[in-house]
Structure 1
Amino acid sequence: MPLTKLTRKGLKFVRDANCEENFKELKPRLTTTPVLVVPNSDELFVVFTDASSTSLGGVLMPNDKVVAYASRQLKPHEKDYPTQDLELVAMIFSLKIWRSNVVADALSRKPHGTLACLALEEWKRTITVKQCQWQDEKLRLIWNQIQNGEQLDGWTVNVEGLLYHKGRLVVANIPDLRESIMIEAHRSKFVVHPGSTKMYQDLERQYWWEGMKRDATNFVAKCMVCQQVKAKHQRPSGLLQPLPIPEWKWDEITMDFGMGLPLTPLKHDTVRLIVDRLTKSAHFIPIRKDCKVSKLARIYVGNILRLHGLPSSIVS
């Protein structure tokens, strides 16, 4: 740690007694057992990672022999991550280091079987999209117009008969087809649950359909994995603090709405609930779900302000 701090920006390079002691301790650890071994591409590689409250790191080992170490201190915003997220950060950090080879070798080259599988899936998807384009009446009309010699801005048909818009393959308005494409772009074996913006950018390089960005946003919002492991990039909020007890009745009130109720003869389907925080006395006012703000204000004046006066605070 003392030696690492010397490499930071804006910090003077002062090698004190503590740094010298760490340096002397580091030399024998790097030059004695365990000694780093040369990697063998025929062996199975295993990556061990771990994270603490201050740093994270990993070790690359084939057959219980160390090939390489990697570590770094946590960034300021990472110190607020929960434990499971820090473990994932350590994994991603280690894998990025040992996948960044300039020349492709056994650690970074994909197997030929995987590449062949990708090519086959891409071919199958192209055939499916072509078949579905003919099922979309709007796309079939555009295709016929282009074949009749009309010039449509951005629309083209390639030699295989596929309809393209601005160089991107047009996907028909078939929910199952678009759903399958978004599933592959979000949670297949070759992606790691990207956010809505990244997912849309990946899709728009190859595909086009109306409302693609909206569909990608809604798809990510419904992904349970993303909702459960999403890291909060903010300081912990701490324990919930109760509100202070009011000193006078109807000086501080709470307001809420109960919706989805059966219709009354006057077409009311919502209850507006207003409660005094001190005495817990309440008013239940029937309203409609589509009631405007201006009407809500008039209802408040006629039912609450007229009887109890103006409160000092309203908690919704």
Structure 2
Amino acid sequence: MQRFVNEKCQDFLKEGWLVNLLDDFAIKTCGTLQDHIRNIERFLQRMGEIEVFLKDSKCQWFAKEIPFLGFMVNRYGYWKQPEKLEAIREYGTPKSQKDVRIFTGMVNFYRPFADHLSVICKPLYDLLKKNQKFMWSGEQQVAFEKVKATILDEVFLVFPDQQKVFTIDFDASEYGTGACLQQHDSEGNLRPIEFFSYKWNKAEYNYSTPDKELYGLVLALRHWYKWLFGAEQDIVVYTDHKSLRDFSKTQLLKPRHARWSLVLEDYRVRLTIRWISGKQNVIADALSRDPRFVLTARELEERRSTQILPETVFQEEENVLLRTDQMVDISMDDDDGVVNTINDNGTPTATEEEEEETENDQELITKISLRKCQPHQRDITDNPNLQKEVLYLCHDHGMAGHNGLRKTLDLIARKYWWEHVSTNVKKYIEECDLCQRSKPSHQAPLGKLVPLPIPQRNWQHISMDFIVKLSQSVIQGVQLPHDSILVVVDRRSKMAHFIPTQETVTAEGTAKLVFNYVICKHGVPETVVSDRGPQFRSRFWEKILEVIGSKPSLSTAYHPQTDGQTERTNQCHETYLRLYSIYDNWASILP
């Protein structure tokens, strides 16, 4: 049925005024009453042509509020249909896995309205695991009642408006993250569009606080991608973590941060991060710090660092460290002797002189850094010799096995910490001769450098980029002040156009500037090199280039060398502006 309707009413569905699921139809018109009547006539005529008959008793005409697909819908938003909740309200205590599966299936339908539904349902989901025996306890009963209460709460969600500014309130805590997508109504009040919350898994639980805050923002942007990516206005993010505002300025990124930065890159021009105090960030703070996110004792135990070596490798304070020269003295020819020594004592014991020296070392490592050290770790920042011995034990020792960076760091973190430990371990492993000679390389073969095509004529291949964050400058006869420059460079003649514009310019506005200042004067280019800004990644921009016969060439994120020519031109032009322009007259002196 659905496929049949999609084929026969494809034009209506594309125009947007017809909504359909199987045999349910809704006609919504944003225009006048005459427009609505015209759409109804077109729909009824089409139903007659395909011989689909409507039952009059089930139809509602010219309604301002209708039940549709289990919801009550009006022009402003939607909420849960009260009659549909009776089945959930009256649902009895499940007696089998099948009953649990039916119940969770019903409540999942209302997931957008429910805060932390997946967390509340966890005891119920545990009963649905493979080979899990059905045992209904007090924990499941409490979760069952909480789910019903959460679903039965009245929440009104408004429809997103692409013409308005989106606001995201988000916050991350030790156990999870929460966010609320909102927009202002006609009276200036913030109204929720949807709630979002997420509980950290085992790996994410160990992230640092800045990483949790950043990942929480990335998860929210991914979750609401369908609405935010096509937004025409700014996206304002409110957070109580100040470091997020400076993340875009970071030059050297870890692989994890680089992946997250690709998500933020989609919203680079329109995304604005603003700091507010924790007291003001009420909704998101409550979502992320919900008591249901707090880990149980069992979960905390599971999330501790996995022990790679047995405890015998790390003796108590009197023999925690082995001297390097003692380990060298062990005859490697006598393998049985080495094995017996380890089996009998756990690790070879130190001499009395070395034990005395070790005790002196312990005076240093008993200093605990309250700022960075964990309670179970000892700070040995001030003892580089001790650091070398710990590195030797955790990497070179026979029971350590010359492991890689992650496992070596995990092993060290069980007992010790010092400043720049990750950098030291990475350098130590990279300089380990035995690792370099014995371990296979898992790095993929390096690809060949692919240069940009060499232009054969002027304006055959162009590159473009924006200079942003300039002071506002007004040109006589133009209403809006300019705060950015669109730079377009011919890659053969090096001739450039500097076009004043706004930082919030859309893909359509960028296309108009390129047509008026470049294409009308120099013709259509074959390729256009640019960064991955939202103007150059939009479907509108891609369609424009396809129509005129140009091919887009996007640079790698955070790799400006791809478009090095335009970047170099930008540097020269910025220097020129600093030398010759007054604060607000730069737009009038552009070449």
**Shorter-chain TM-score category?**
0.3 to 0.5
TM-score by length of 2: 0.21
Using CA pairs under 8 Å that are at least 6 residues apart, name the structure with larger relative contact order, 1 or 2. 1
TM-score by length of 1: 0.35
